[in-house]
Amino acid sequence: MPEQKKLPLSQQQVANKPKIEDMISEYLDNGMKKLALDFVDFLRTNKVQLRLIVNVNSLFWKAYYKSKVVCALKIANNSWTISPINWPLTQCDYSSGYDRIINDVKLKKAMWNNINYCKGCNKKDIPVRASVFGKEFDNVCWMVNVNFIDPDADAVKCAKIIAEQRCNDIKMAMSLK
């Protein structure tokens, strides 16, 4: 019998189309597991759909509300990330609209501590200057300005507030059409 070639983990996962909750339970320890499951439950409660996406090096789930991206979640060995893809940082300014919904200094610090600096992922990357609640940051990734890697409770709370506002923005935009 020929030896069966073992697929890379992500190919095995894709073949099985795992639920994010199963991946969280398998790959995260108790503290991170609780926060990650809570965040996923929050998304589902707010009618956000999670779709498995395969990247060259990883698996992650994009969170969609009414077909618009709210964020992405990545689960790996004892690590998880909330990536605010397409959150309103394209103008690189969180200060204007979000000061009214995030006024807790601890939550602002959670944002400041999770700025995603440019790593030169491709030659077209142009780092930007970002204003986040009145604090300026240079050399910030133009595509994903904030990346909550292994977020603590404050960072998850901040991500929830911004995700909820993103859903509200999507609803508002759709009602204007």
pLDDT in tens, 45-98: 999 999 988 765 567 899 999 999 999 999 887 899 998 865 544 444 555 556
Q: Per-residue DSSP letters for 46-70? A: TT-EEEEEE-SS-EEEEEEETTEEE
Question: 154 lies in a domain?
Answer: yes
Question: 172 lies in a domain?
Answer: yes
pLDDT in tens, 97-142: 566 677 788 888 988 999 888 887 766 667 778 877 778 888 888 7
Question: 4 lies in a domain?
Answer: no
Among candidates 69, 76, 78, which has minimal Cα distance to 43?
A: 69
What is the H or E stretch that residue 44 is in?
helix 30-45
With 0.85 as the threshold, say if the pTM is over it.
Answer: no
Q: What are 150's two structure tokens? A: 């292994």
Question: 121 lies in a domain?
Answer: yes
Structural domain boundaries enclosing 75: 9-176
Q: What angle do CA 11, 41, 173 make, to 5 degrees?
A: 95
The owner of tokens 């404050």 is 154
Question: 71 lies in a domain?
Answer: yes
Question: 156 lies in a domain?
Answer: yes
Question: 65 lies in a domain?
Answer: yes
Q: What are 103's two structure tokens? A: 């006024």
Question: 1 lies in a domain?
Answer: no
State how many domains the chain has: 1
